[in-house]
């Protein structure tokens, strides 16, 4: 990784970047290849859709993905939840987590058991960022063309070498625009 980064201007040696997305529903925005070209890891929080989406992400960086409610047998090998360490940051992900103030039982149990710094969820196509106790809950929003969202979104989590976390939203245009 170079000492500077064209996407994250305050990137320093020892820092890490994590691409976050969910709900692609079988379609990856062409700009994601450029935007995620400099990340160290990618987390896809489910509803991947076509296997080619996951293959394209894995060609960019190591990718942690979980199975969403629309992901069929072609994604049968994906776990329901996953965890990964990127630099000093411990991240966990699952598709249906609710929201920080109204988590699902499964999300609450996962956070209590794993104690991650960050939980990444998807499913409801609503972007949010909140902190509950020591866990930062992130839903990057829906990156695909299917669903009720108006804006396609993804995110880049900047994990500073000292453990400080900084989230950068990635706007991918209106749903349905090519």
In this prediction, residues 96-116 reach a mean pLDDT of 93
**Residue that has been written with the tokens 């969202």 in this structure:** 149
- The pLDDT tens digits of the residues spanning 128-137 come to 999 888 899 9
In this prediction, residues 6-25 reach a mean pLDDT of 89
Q: What is the pTM of this model?
A: 0.93
Give pLDDT, residue 1: 43
Reported confidence tier of residue 150, pLDDT bands at 50, 70, 90 = confident
In this prediction, residues 131-160 reach a mean pLDDT of 89
What share of the chain has pLDDT > 90, as a percent?
Answer: 67
d(CA 122, CA 141): 7
Residue 1 lies in a domain: no
DSSP H helices in the chain: 31-35, 51-60, 105-114
In this prediction, residues 123-127 reach a mean pLDDT of 89
Reported confidence tier of residue 4, pLDDT bands at 50, 70, 90 = low
d(CA 55, CA 52): 5
User: What total of structural domains would you count in the chain?
Assistant: 1
d(CA 122, CA 12): 29
- Find out whether 117 and 90 touch, Cβ atoms under 8 Å: yes
- The pLDDT tens digits of the residues spanning 30-41 come to 999 999 999 999
Q: Could you tell me which residues are beta bridge partners of residue 14? A: none
- Find out whether 121 and 155 touch, Cβ atoms under 8 Å: no
In this prediction, residues 67-72 reach a mean pLDDT of 88
DSSP run (H or E) holding 159: strand 151-159
Reported confidence tier of residue 2, pLDDT bands at 50, 70, 90 = very low
Which whole-number Å values give the CA distances from 76 to 12, 41, 63, 65, in the listed order?
A: 38, 22, 16, 12
Q: Could you tell me which residues are beta bridge partners of residue 131? A: 136
Domain that holds residue 116: 16-171
The two three-digit tokens of residue 25, written as one number = 């529903």
Is residue 156 pLDDT above 50, yes or no? yes
Phi, psi of 69 (to 5 degrees): -70, -15
Give pLDDT, residue 6: 66
d(CA 102, CA 124): 13
Residue 39 lies in a domain: yes
Give pLDDT, residue 65: 97
134 or 64: which leads in pLDDT? 64
Give pLDDT, residue 145: 83
Residue 49 lies in a domain: yes
| 103 Ramachandran zone, left/alpha/beta (phi>0; psi -120 to 50) | beta
At 67, which CATH number? 3.60.21.10
- Helix count (H) and strand count (E) of the chain? 3, 12
Residue 69 lies in a domain: yes
């Amino acid at each position: 990784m170079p000492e500077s980064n064209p996407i994250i201007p305050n990137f320093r040696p020892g820092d890490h970047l994590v691409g976050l997305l969910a709900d692609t529903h079988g379609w990856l925005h062409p700009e994601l290849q450029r935007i995620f070209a400099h990340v160290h890891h990618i987390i896809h929080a489910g509803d991947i859709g076509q296997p080619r989406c996951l293959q394209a992400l894995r060609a960019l960086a190591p990718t942690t993905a979980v199975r969403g409610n629309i992901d069929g047998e072609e994604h049968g090998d994906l776990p329901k939840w996953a965890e990964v360490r990127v630099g000093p940051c411990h991240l966990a992900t699952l598709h249906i987590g609710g929201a920080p103030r109204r988590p699902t039982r499964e999300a609450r149990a996962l956070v209590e058991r794993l104690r991650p710094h960050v939980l990444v969820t998807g499913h409801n196509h609503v972007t949010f960022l909140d902190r509950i106790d020591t866990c930062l809950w992130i839903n990057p929003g829906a990156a695909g063309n299917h669903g009720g969202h108006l804006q396609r979104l993804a995110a880049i989590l900047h994990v500073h070498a000292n453990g400080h976390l900084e989230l950068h939203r990635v706007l991918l245009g209106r749903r349905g625009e090519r």
